Structure 1
């Protein structure tokens, strides 16, 4: 019969405890249960104080969840180039056109934006003349009666 060397087993065990800087509901309940188990029977814990602590913890947890949800929503709005450039639909853009075969400059063209899509995280403006350009290739954006310069991002 083979014996197991206990020194090998003990060396693989985690010997240090890493503290958690946040207190979640499970941690709070563990503390509460420990308080209840170790309370003095002649002076029991104040039930009103216990309820107030639980209410405070629940409110804090709900606020943290809401904050996390809002942060995720904001991040998703900032990431989507379709949403970021959707305001350009219906406006005219002026851009530098190039021959797709030779790469030769064809001068500036202007066309209305009919849709916005994305490709590998880049916003693509789909134009009324059938062409597609990257949003940062627009030199000018025009609406009826006004023009505004567009700076590259």
Structure 2
């Protein structure tokens, strides 16, 4: 193995599989685990002669619990909104809907089906696939008359 006399690096390490350092992608948000790690680190590194104030510790654990509950509420709200969009789209089937097409013209047609494949439900009107948030109006179908 060749060793460079100036730098002390061997040629195997310089050209081997470890030429690029692995990169670590930092978290973009603080979660409950991050706060718990901070609290545990704070407890480990506290001065034994003057420990952390009990009120301060209770305050921090309360903040952690509140943050976790708010995070759970946020995800529940997102799930509820997605469910409401699905229900609204399903209720459009059989109704006449108005929408603005890609040319900017207002079109009207009968909603025949709904697809939930994407993040926003897609309503089929004739041969067009229309995102639910692009529908601008709905007309209730006339009641069927019996003869």
Name structure 1 gaps, 5 residues minimum: 94-115, 125-135, 145-153
Deviations 1:8-32 (A, max 9, x none): 35433325x5443422111112111
Contact 1:82 1:123 in 2 (8 A): no
Number of corresponding residues: 103
What's 1:51 paired with?
58
Deviations 1:78-97 (A, max 9, x none): 145213x2796xxxx8xxxx
- Which structure 1 residue ranges, 4+ long, deviate > 4 Å from structure 2? none
What's 2:20 paired with?
12
Q: Quickly say closer, same or farther: Cα 1:33–1:86, change in 2 above 3 A.
A: same
2:68, 2:94 → 1: CA distance?
Answer: 37
1:119, 1:20 → 2: CA distance?
Answer: 37
Superposed CA RMSD: 3.8
Which of the pair has more CA radius of gyration? 1
2:140, 2:37 → 1: CA distance?
Answer: 62
Contact 1:82 1:117 in 2 (8 A): no
Name structure 2 gaps, 5 residues minimum: 1-9, 97-110, 116-121, 126-134
1:141, 1:32 → 2: CA distance?
Answer: 60
Structure with greater strand share of residues: 1
Contact 2:93 2:113 in 1 (8 A): no
Instruction: Give the match's secondary structure for 2:37.
Output: helix
TM superposition shift of 1:67:
1.6
Q: Quickly say closer, same or farther: Cα 1:69–1:55, change in 2 above 3 A.
A: same
Contact 1:25 1:57 in 2 (8 A): yes
